[in-house]
Amino acid sequence: MKAFSIDRYGKKVALRATDRPEPELGKDDVLVEIHAAGVNPLDLKIRDGEFKMILPYRMPLIMGNDLAGVVVRVGSRVQRFKPGDEVYARPDDNRIGAFAEFIAIRESSLAIKPKALSMEEAASIPLVGLTAWQALVEKADVKKGQKVLIHAGSGGVGTVAIQLAKHLGAYVATTTSTTNIEWVKQLGADIVIDYKKDDFEKVLHGYDLVLNSLGTETLEKSLQVLKPGGRLISISGPPDADFAKSAGLSGFLKLVMGLLSYGIRKKAKRRGVIYSFLYMRASGDQLRKITALIDARVIRPVVDRVFPFESTPDALAYVETGRAKGKVIVKVK
C-alpha cells in the first residue's frame, strides 16, 4: 500500500512516499480502507521528536492521527463492525498511521461515521473532537454558567471546543487574530480577544477554566484570568506526573514529568488554581457521543483545505504555517 512516513525525528525531516505492506489484523482489530485523513499540529510534534520520550515509535513511522474510511475486514472477536461500514477514528497512540491507504484499528477506538458528513468532514473530527471532549467534559466537567477561555479559537481544537463549551452552557471567551473575529463569534464565542491588539490577561477575569494549546508565555499569563479553584488544562505541555502515571510510564519518567511541569504547577498553586496536562487518547465510546452531537447539529466540522494524497507533505507544511482555520485534510481515496 502507498503511505507517507518518516525515517528519523527532526524539524527538517520530510515526509517520504513509500510502499508498505498492508497492516496485519489482530483478533480485536478492524482493517479500514482510508478515504480521508486529518493533518494536525500533533503530527509536527511527533515528527520533531517532542514525544519520543513517552511514545518511542519504531522507524520508519507512518504518520497521521485521524481518519475516515470504510471497513474492509474484521478480526475474529470484533462484534460492532462489519465490512462496508463507514467509520472514523483517532487510532491508539502506538498505532498511528493515517497517511496511508489502509490501517488496522482496535475495535474499541472506532466509531460509525456521522451520516451527514462527507469522508473529508468526518476525518476532521476525531482528534480535535476527543481532545475537546476529554478537556471540557471528562477532565473539567464544565457546567452551565461557568466561564471558559479557549485559546486559538480558529484552530482545529478551538473550533470544536467553542461549540462544545457553548452546548454545555458555558460563557465562552477565545483568542484569535483580527481576520477571524467575526468567524469565531459565529461558532459561538461570547467574547473574542484579538491577540494582535489586546492582552487577554488584562481583559478577562474570574474564569473557571482555560484550555491552552499555545506556548509557555500564554500558559503562564492564563493563570491570571482564573478564579481561585479554577483549572488550567494544556494540550501543548509541559507534561505532568499525573499524566505519566495515567500513561503507565516508569518511575523515572514520572519524576522527569514532575520536574518539567514544576514551574507552572508552583505558580498555579500560588494562585490557588490547578494545572494539568492533557494528551488525548483514542476512544470509540466518546466518538459515538460526539457523533450524536454532530447528528443533532450541535457541532459542525470546520475544514480549511483538502489536499490530494500525493500532496500530503504540502498539507503538513501548510499546517506548520499556523494559518489554517479549522482542519486540514488529505483526500486518500
Whether residue 156 is found in the same domain as residue 197 = yes
Whether 286 is covered by a domain: the verdict is no
As separate numbers, helices (DSSP H) first and strands (DSSP E) second, the chain gives 12, 16
Shared-domain flag, residues 306 and 199:
no
Q: 133 with 273, same domain?
A: yes
Asked whether residue 283 is domain-assigned, the answer is: no
pLDDT at 237: 79
Q: Are residues 170 and 189 in the same domain?
A: yes
End-to-end CA distance of the chain: 12
Do 175 and 141 lie in one domain? The reply is: yes
Q: What SS3 state is found at 38?
A: strand
CATH assignment of the domain containing 111:
3.90.180.10
247 pLDDT tier (thresholds 50, 70, 90)? confident
Report yes or no on 136 lying in a domain.
yes
201 contacts 173 by C-beta, under 8 angstroms: no
Tell me, yes or no, whether 189 lies in a domain: yes
Q: Residue 289 corresponds to which amino acid?
A: K
Q: 266 and 161 in one domain?
A: yes
Domain presence at residue 294: no
User: Burial, 3: exposed, middle or buried (Cβ in 10 Å; 0-12, 13-18, 19+)?
Assistant: buried
CATH number (domain holding residue 149)? 3.40.50.720
In the predicted model, is pLDDT for residue 52 greater than 90? no
- Beta bridge pairs of residue 32: 71, 103
- The pLDDT of 143-151, averaged and rounded, is 98
State how many domains the chain has: 2
Q: What is the mean pLDDT of the chain?
A: 95
Does the pLDDT of residue 198 top 80, yes or no? yes
87 and 159 part of one domain: no
In 3D, which of 131, 111, 132 has the Cα closest to residue 122? Answer: 111
Residue 267 has pLDDT above 80, yes or no: yes
Same domain, 132 and 256: yes
The set of cell numbers assigned to 253 is: 519518567
Say which amino acid occupies 323: R
Q: What is the mean pLDDT of residues 261-284?
A: 94
38 and 176 in one domain?
no
The amino acid that residue 23 corresponds to is P
- Has residue 221 got a pLDDT over 80? yes
pLDDT band, residue 238 (cuts 50/70/90)? confident
Section 104-130 average pLDDT: 98
Beta bridge partners of 308: 331
Q: Is residue 226 part of a domain?
A: yes
Residue 290 lies in a domain: no
Instruction: Give the max Cα distance, the chain.
Output: 58
My answer on whether 66 and 172 are in the same domain is no
Same domain, 167 and 34: no
Query: Same structural domain for residues 176 and 237?
Result: yes
| DSSP secondary structure of 94-163 | GG---SBSEEEEEGGGEEEPPTTS-HHHHHTSHHHHHHHHIIIIIIS---TT-EEEESSTTSHHHHHHHH
Instruction: For residue 194, give its domain range.
Output: 128-277
Residue 49 Ramachandran class (φ > 0 left, ψ -120 to 50 alpha, else beta): left
Residue 321 belongs to a domain: yes
